């Protein structure tokens, strides 16, 4: 039974009839219904700075014919509103004629439980934990200048009504817990940030004092940075640690392999299918099926079950990530990568959990092979220009490497590279693949969606490090 029409003047079968009628001359489309509850509780500067609960519900009605997408969304799930949207879609596509593509695969798999993390932990126990985090970090001494910690939790129910009464449903929990600490020593201030999350309850990540590990890690990063020196400037060898540094893969390769940019031929990768784009030891996948991971989905936002999509296999470009629209126009199948931030947004092909798989080298071998370079362990965000292929990411914890030895920590710096050529510069792939801690949000066309990344340690022969020291 659908909950979306409970307080509406329209019932599910009437809504289904409007969908079928609206889409009868279209290639594709659906009515996407979403109910989204979320909370944010923030401790900052020794106080509970804010506690906010959000409740949002609405629909996005989409009709697609050829390359043209007509979209209309509203908070108001009523007969009048849906009919108005339907008229709007039909008006946009009035001169087009399509044939509805009914096929959508079924799945019995589930990659997370239907739990509501917000209700699963009491408000008081969340406040207590935030206070414990503050006290624990501040007990580490007077160098602790500022502590911020926050809970972000959500539960999203989606229902996708396609033509001829096909209905697909998913319930998605998501949590994130973050700690940020500012240390001050000798007039110098530095920040350390760490967080965890995924599609489980808060306590799955915080129980048995494991919240202390999150605090310790944030403290450690800030403490390392207190001793940091100016970063070098210029091209050099770069060793990336395992796990979260895989946002390099996300920026350099991932976005360029999304179906829309390749259909439109605006990606630097659009004419490289089947070609060598990476060193031989490099295999990269985008996997929506990992249990309880931040980027995982049972079905995507068009109703297609997700899968593990091989993007690059032993250096050869194998697949793009596709939603239904781009797959149809490129003569292939959706990879279950059609995602949207909310009912207010159109579907785009997006990443889920993007991972470089393990090779055979140890991190020690990589570091000892470098005469002059840097070792990057922890990152902030990144960005890419899809068309030119140039991408950047910001180090938040990095060290100099001199004559095969790790030296002093260096200040945060931006690293810049060229997507289509960077993976050819990967000379060693480590045996230590690690998933990120579950904190990534990817932005594209103004839409943020939760994603994951993973990689082993890698050695890159040549990359430009954007420090200040020549």
Partner 1 sequence: MIKEQDFLKDIASYCIENSKKLGATDVGVKVIHSVSENVSFRNKKLDESNRSDSFAINLTTYIDKKKSSINSSDLSKSNLEKLIERCIDATKITPIDENNSLPDKDLMSKKIEDLKLYDETHYSNDKKIEFLEQVEDAASLDDKIVNTESGFTENKNNFVLANSNGFQNGYKTSNFSSSCVAVSRINGTMERDYEFGSKRFLNQMLKPDEIGKIAATKAINKLGPKKIDSEKIGIIFDKRISKGILSTLASAVSASAISRGTSFLKDKIDNEIFPSSINIIDDPKIQKGLGSQNFDSEGVENNSLKLVENGILKNYLIDTYYGKKLNLKSNGRSGGTTNLYFENGNLSFKELLNLEKKFLYITETIGHGGNIITGDYSVGASGFMVENGELTYPVSEITIAGNFKEMFKNLILANDLEMKYSTNAPTLLINEMTVAGK
Site for partner 1 in 334-393 (CB under 8 A): 344, 346, 380-388, 390-393
Residue 190 found at the interface with partner 1 (CB under 8 A): yes
Q: Which of residues 97-156 bind partner 1 (CB under 8 A)?
A: 123-124, 127, 131, 145-146
Single out the segment in contact with partner 1 by CB under 8 A; choices: 50-58, 132-140, 237-245, 313-321.
Answer: 50-58
CA pair distance 299, 352, nearest whole angstrom: 11
90, 121, 156, 189: which one binds partner 1 (CB under 8 A)? 189
Work out whether 215 is an interface residue with partner 1 (CB under 8 A): no
- What mask of x and - would describe binding to partner 1 in positions 253 to 292, judged by CB under 8 A? -----------xxx-x--x---------------------
Binds partner 1 (CB under 8 A): choice among 22, 81, 150, 309: 81
Does 24 interact with partner 1 (rule: CB under 8 A)? no
Q: CB of 468: closest distance to partner 1 in angstroms?
A: 4
Residues 221-260 that bind partner 1 (CB under 8 A): 231, 233-235
Diameter of the chain by CA atoms? 73
Q: Is 469 a residue that touches partner 1 (CB under 8 A)? A: yes
Taking the CB of residue 78, how many other CB atoms lie within 10 A of it? 16
Burial of 223 (0-12, 13-18, 19+ CB in 10 A): middle
Rounded distance between C-alpha atoms, residue 12 and residue 33, angstroms: 11
**Distant-in-sequence, close-in-space partners of 347: CB < 8 Å, separation ≥ 6:** 62, 301, 302, 323, 324, 325, 338, 339, 340
Q: Is 54 in the site for partner 1 (CB under 8 A)?
A: yes
Positions of E strands within 78-222: 144-162, 166-185, 188-198
- Is 417 a binder of partner 1 (CB under 8 A)? yes
* Identity of the residue, 41 or 351, whose beta carbon is nearer to partner 1 in the bound complex: 41
Q: Give the three-class secondary structure for 156.
A: strand
Distance, in Å, from the CA atom of 43 to the CA atom of 181, rounded to the nearest integer, reads 12
Return the residue matching tokens 């879609």: 89
Using CB under 8 A, which of 14, 20, 25, 92 touches partner 1? 92
Q: How far is the CB of 78 from partner 1 (least distance, A)?
A: 10
Of 64 and 429, the one with the shorter C-beta distance to partner 1 is: 64
Residue 191 binds partner 1 (CB under 8 A): yes
Site membership for partner 1, residue 329 (CB under 8 A): no
Taking CB under 8 A as the rule, does residue 411 contact partner 1?
yes
* Burial tier of 427 (Cβ tally within 10 Å: 0-12, 13-18, 19+): middle
Give the integer Cα–Cα distance in Å for 345 and 445.
Answer: 10
């Amino acid at each position: 039974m659908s909950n979306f029409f409970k307080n509406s003047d329209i019932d599910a079968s009437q809504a289904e009839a409007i969908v079928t009628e609206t889409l009868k001359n279209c290639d594709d489309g659906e009515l996407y219904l979403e109910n989204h509850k979320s909370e944010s509780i923030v401790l900052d500067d020794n106080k509970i700075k804010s506690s906010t609960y959000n409740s949002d519900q609405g629909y996005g009605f989409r009709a697609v014919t050829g390359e043209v997408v007509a979209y209309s969304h509203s908070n108001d799930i009523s007969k009048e509103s849906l009919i108005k949207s339907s008229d709007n879609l039909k008006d946009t596509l009035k001169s087009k004629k399509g044939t509805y593509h009914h096929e959508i695969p079924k799945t019995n798999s589930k990659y997370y439980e239907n739990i509501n993390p917000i209700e699963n932990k009491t408000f008081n126990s969340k406040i207590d934990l935030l206070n414990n985090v503050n006290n624990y970090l501040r007990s580490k001494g007077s160098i602790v200048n500022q502590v911020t910690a926050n809970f972000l939790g959500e539960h999203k129910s989606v229902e996708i009504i396609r033509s001829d009464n096909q209905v697909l449903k998913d319930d998605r929990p998501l949590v994130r817990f973050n700690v940020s600490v500012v240390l001050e020593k000798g007039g110098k201030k530095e920040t350390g940030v760490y967080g965890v999350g995924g599609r489980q309850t808060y306590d799955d990540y915080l129980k048995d004092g494991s919240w202390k590990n999150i605090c310790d890690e944030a403290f450690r990063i800030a403490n390392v940075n207190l001793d940091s020196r100016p970063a070098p400037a210029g091209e050099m060898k770069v060793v990336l640690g395992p796990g979260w540094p895989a946002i390099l893969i996300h920026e350099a390769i991932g976005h360029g392999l999304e179906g829309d940019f390749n259909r439109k031929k605006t990606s630097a990768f659009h004419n490289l299918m089947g070609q060598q784009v990476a060193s031989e030891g490099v295999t990269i996948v985008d996997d929506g099926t990992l249990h309880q991971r931040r980027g995982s989905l049972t079905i995507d936002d068009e109703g297609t079950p997700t899968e593990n999509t091989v993007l690059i296999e032993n250096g050869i470009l194998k697949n793009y990530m596709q939603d239904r629209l781009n797959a149809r126009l490129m003569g292939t199948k959706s990879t279950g990568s059609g995602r949207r931030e909310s009912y207010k947004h159109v579907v785009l092909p997006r990443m889920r959990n993007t991972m470089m798989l393990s090779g055979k080298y140890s991190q020690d071998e990589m570091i000892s092979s470098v005469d002059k370079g840097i070792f990057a362990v922890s990152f902030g965000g990144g960005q890419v220009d899809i068309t030119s292929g140039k991408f950047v990411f910001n180090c938040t914890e990095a060290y100099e490497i001199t004559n095969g030895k790790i030296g002093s920590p260096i200040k945060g710096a931006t690293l810049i590279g060229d997507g289509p050529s960077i993976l050819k510069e990967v000379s060693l792939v480590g045996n230590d693949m690690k998933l990120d801690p579950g904190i990534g949000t990817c932005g594209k066309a103004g839409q943020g969606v939760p994603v994951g990344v993973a990689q082993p340690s890698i050695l890159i022969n040549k990359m430009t490090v954007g420090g200040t020291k020549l």
